[in-house]
């Protein structure tokens, strides 16, 4: 066996070549692996960006609608269907405000192929991803307002696993190529050291850009080089074919990723066949085998009002008149209803003439978005057509919009108000302290409600029930909105009704005074006439008898004086303040004032009173009691029964004073019981009532005494006898 000379040029050259080949393959492999890794990461970044763009629209809509469950489902579905996503996190500022937090955080993380919801603790542990470049994020805006922050983390493990798979799959191939190159190198050096190598190099260097076949080596070249050239050309051709197929598949796959969760369609224009994905059919309620794969299938489902527009857009896209295909239209569902669909498409194949031959695209359900758009339009309609005036200012309190009702109410045109401060409406009726308290409430609590007296364009004043709210973004006030309800006319009407009610009550009181004074005046007349007679006829008058007669006159006069004072106090309702008073005394006053009418109609009042001292307006309550007792008296007048009763019960329950006044007059007709508190509504003859007593009682209880009043018909027992009658229930808050 011939020994190998280690110092020979052949050995050294072979060793050098082998070393160079080894280093070259290692470097090339590392370089290629790094490029593959970068390509994977770049593709994942692009896919993630596309995914994030798709998510952004849907997530923003769900945040605006406070549909937390929906966007959490969307986040979970997204991470489940995209294994390259490590984690996806959403900060929802809108929901956070409702919860009293800066934001509501939600999301999911892929841990060993298990999708786990991200809580606060996991949020801290996932912070190490922030140091990686493998994440993307975006701010979520609604009308220039930042409402959230969406971040997606790409799994580095996913990339490294794919690199490992690539290395494993290509390791044998690399080893074969390595040994083949070594073998070829050794043979080339040994048999064709210079010329064959130059021929191969020249052939490769002269190769054209359209990958023409490598030139055949001359006859002195070795057979192996000819075979290698042929195999290299065949491999190149196959690579080109696979690259073309891969390019088409990649376009289809990338577009499918853009529409994750949406329906996918693929239209072969030449054959007019369309592939509809399972999700495409499910979106409109069909099973996978219920629709044929034809273009007319889709066309026949389009709403009649949309068909011409949609087909025209598709035709314009195919003919190159528009750059993108994105059409909104309604699609008929299996149940006959319609859904709003956004159809998008791209061209992925062209024929020999360059005309599109194949389109691929997605269908997205945008029904909720359309509902939201409709809601915005309806809000605008309400703003423009509401009967209440609305005024909107910016944070500097400069008017930026008013509605038509406010123009009519104030007499100002919108153009006259824009850019002005609402102070131009200010009257001198309210002092500076009133306005300071108002703005303190708006800026401190976010809202204020109360009455304002504003000056109109013609100089007249309007009394307005006003609500002012501040609108904040990111805890900073950006707008103020005021809603005005003009009660000027209502106040005048209430004053007229109140005056009419007092006038009617005055008539009733005069009748009571007349009746109550008959007997006292008769006593005074009899005593004074008797004394006069005795004096005129010189009868001796006993001193004791004289004193008794004078005391009787004086007592009766005091009674008349007290009666006058009682009635005078009753009509001082508007000038009194809140006081502490015993409810029993107030009820006794009411009974005393109408006693003559009760006695005349033989009505007995039965009291069951849990006495209580309350802090309120006594005379207002007195007026209500008199109105209700008079109403019961009028009801009892009209019926012929042996015993006529009015029952007055008073008790307390949970910081409320409960007063019940019922009679045995048979009750109120079911047809009118719901209307008895309306102004001027009465079932009596015009000569008997005005229809204002119960209306004023309702107004006093609900608006001035902070209580409630309602009427009902009852069947009840008294002394083992059963009666039917009306019952008026009064509830008052007391301190």
DSSP states along 304-357: TTTHHHHHHHHHHHHTTSSS-EEEEEEEE-TTS-EEEEEEEEEEEEE-TTS-EE
Q: What proportions of the chain, in percent to the nearest 5, are helix, strand and coil?
A: 50, 25, 25
Task: Answer whether 13-160 and 386-486 agree in fold.
Answer: yes
Q: How far apart are CA 610 and CA 121, in angstroms?
A: 60
CATH H superfamily, domain 386-486: PAS domain (3.30.450.20)
Give the confidence band of 428 by pLDDT, cuts at 50, 70, 90.
confident
CATH topology (fold) of 13-160: Beta-Lactamase (3.30.450)
Distances (CA, A) of 495 to 452, 620, 676, 702, 712: 18, 15, 20, 17, 29
CB-count burial class (<10 Å; 0-12, 13-18, 19+) for 584: middle
The more confident residue out of 506 and 291 is: 291
What average pLDDT does the segment 553-580 reach?
58
Domain 262-372 annotated CATH 3.30.450.20:
yes
Q: What is the pLDDT of residue 131?
A: 47
Q: How far apart are CA 704 and CA 498, in angstroms?
A: 13
Q: Taking the mean position of all CA atoms in its chain, how far away is CA 107? A: 22
Helix 223-258 with 195-205: angle, nearest 10 deg: 30
Q: Report pLDDT digits (tens) over 412-426.
A: 888 888 888 888 888
- Highest mean pLDDT out of 246-255, 402-411, 497-506: 402-411
Task: Tell whether the model's pLDDT for residue 513 goes beyond 90.
Answer: no
Which residues fall within 8 angstroms of residue 181, CB to CB, at 6 or more apart?
21, 25
The more confident residue out of 649 and 596 is: 649
Residue 266: DSSP 8-state: E
Can you list the alpha helix ranges (DSSP code H) found in 259-290?
278-283
Closest CA to 480 of 465, 491, 494, 470: 470
Task: Tell whether the model's pLDDT for residue 158 goes beyond 50.
Answer: yes
Q: How far apart are CA 228 and CA 221, in angstroms?
A: 12
Q: What is the pLDDT of residue 309?
A: 92
Q: Report pLDDT digits (tens) over 31-45.
A: 877 887 778 778 877
List, in sequence order, every residue forming a beta bridge with 644; answer none if it has no partner.
603
Closest CA to 317 of 279, 267, 370, 283: 267
The more confident residue out of 135 and 298 is: 298
What ranges do the domains of the chain cover?
13-160, 262-372, 386-486, 572-733
* Side-chain-facing half-sphere of 78: CA atoms under 13 Å: 34
* pTM of the shown model: 0.33
**Number of neighbouring beta carbons within 10 Å of residue 524:** 18
List, in sequence order, every residue forming a beta bridge with 141; answer none if it has no partner.
146
Task: Report percent pLDDT > 90 for the chain.
Answer: 12
How many residues are listed for the chain in this entry?
A: 735
CATH class, domain 572-733, is: alpha beta
The more confident residue out of 275 and 205 is: 275
Q: What is the pLDDT of residue 220?
A: 46
Max CA-CA distance within the chain? 188
């Amino acid at each position: 066996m011939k020994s190998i000379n280690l110092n020979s040029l052949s050995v050294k050259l072979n060793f050098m070549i082998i070393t160079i080949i080894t280093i070259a393959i290692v470097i090339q492999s590392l370089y290629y692996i790094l490029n593959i890794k970068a390509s994977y990461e770049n593709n994942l970044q692009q896919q993630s960006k596309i995914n994030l763009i798709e998510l952004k629209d849907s997530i923003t809509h769900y945040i605006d609608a406070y549909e937390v469950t929906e966007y959490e489902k969307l986040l979970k579905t997204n991470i489940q269907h995209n294994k390259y996503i490590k984690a996806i996190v959403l900060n929802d500022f809108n929901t956070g405000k409702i919860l009293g937090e800066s934001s509501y955080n939600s999301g999911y993380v892929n841990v060993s192929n298990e999708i786990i919801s991200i809580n606060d603790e996991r949020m801290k542990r996932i912070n190490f991803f922030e140091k990686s470049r493998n994440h993307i994020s975006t701010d979520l805006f609604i009308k220039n307002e930042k409402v959230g922050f969406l971040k997606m983390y790409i799994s580095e493990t996913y990339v490294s696993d794919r690199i490992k798979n690539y290395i494993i799959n290509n390791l044998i191939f690399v080893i074969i190529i390595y040994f083949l190159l070594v073998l070829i190198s050794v043979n080339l050096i040994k048999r064709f050291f210079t010329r064959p190598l130059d021929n191969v190099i020249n052939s490769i260097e002269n190769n054209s850009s359209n990958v023409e076949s490598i030139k055949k080596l001359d006859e002195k070249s070795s057979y192996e080089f000819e075979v290698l050239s042929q195999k290299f050309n065949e491999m190149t051709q196959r690579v080109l074919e696979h690259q073309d197929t891969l390019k088409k598949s990649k376009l289809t796959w990338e577009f499918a990723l853009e529409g994750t969760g949406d329906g996918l369609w693929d239209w072969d224009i030449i054959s007019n066949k369309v592939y509809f994905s399972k999700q495409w059919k499910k979106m409109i309620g069909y099973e996978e085998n219920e629709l044929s794969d034809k273009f007319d299938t889709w066309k026949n489902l389009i709403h009649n009002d949309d068909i011409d527009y949609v087909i025209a857009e598709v035709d314009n896209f195919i003919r190159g008149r528009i750059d993108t295909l994105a059409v909104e239209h309604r699609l008929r569902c299996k149940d006959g209803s319609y859904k709003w669909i956004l159809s998008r498409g791209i061209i992925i194949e062209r024929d020999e003439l360059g005309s599109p031959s194949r389109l691929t695209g997605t269908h997205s359900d945008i029904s909720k978005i359309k509902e939201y758009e409709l809601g915005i339009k309806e809000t605008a309609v309400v703003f423009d057509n509401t009967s209440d005036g609305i005024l909107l200012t910016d944070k500097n309190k400069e008017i930026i919009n008013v509605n038509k009702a406010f123009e009519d109410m104030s007499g100002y045109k919108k153009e006259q108000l824009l850019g002005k401060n609402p102070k131009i409406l200010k009257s001198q009726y309210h002092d500076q302290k009133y306005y300071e308290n108002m703005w303190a409430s708006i800026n401190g609590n976010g809202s204020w409600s109360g009455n304002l007296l504003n000056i109109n364009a013609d100089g007249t004043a309007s009394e307005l029930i006003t609500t002012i709210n501040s609108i904040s973004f990111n805890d900073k006030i950006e707008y103020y909105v005021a809603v005005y309800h003009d009660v000027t006319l209502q106040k005048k009407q209430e004053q007229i009704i109140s005056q009419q009610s007092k006038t009617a009550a005055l008539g009733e009181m005069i009748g009571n005074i007349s009746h109550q004074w008959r007997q006292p005046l008769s006593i005074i007349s009899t005593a004074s006439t008797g004394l006069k007679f005795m004096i005129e006829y010189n009868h001796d008058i006993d001193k004791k008898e004289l004193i008794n007669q004078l005391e009787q006159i004086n007592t009766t006069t005091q009674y008349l004086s007290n009666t006058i004072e009682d009635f005078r106090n009753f009509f001082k309702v508007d000038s009194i303040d809140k006081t502490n008073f015993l409810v029993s005394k107030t009820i006794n006053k009411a009974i005393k004032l109408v006693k003559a009418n009760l006695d005349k109609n033989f009505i007995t009042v039965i009291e069951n009173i849990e006495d209580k001292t309350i802090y309120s307006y006594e005379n207002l309550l007195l007026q209500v009691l008199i109105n209700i007792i008079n109403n019961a008296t009028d009801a009892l007048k009209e019926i012929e029964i042996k015993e006529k009763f009015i029952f007055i019960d008073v008790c307390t329950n949970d910081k409320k004073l409960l007063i019940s006044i019922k009679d045995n007059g048979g009750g109120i007709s079911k047809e009118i019981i719901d209307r008895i508190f309306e102004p001027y509504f009465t079932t009596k003859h015009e000569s008997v009532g005005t229809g204002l007593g119960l209306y004023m009682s309702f107004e006093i209880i609900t608006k001035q005494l902070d209580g409630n009043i309602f009427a009902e018909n009852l069947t009840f027992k008294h002394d083992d006898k059963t009666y039917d009658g009306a019952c008026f229930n009064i509830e008052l808050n007391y301190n």
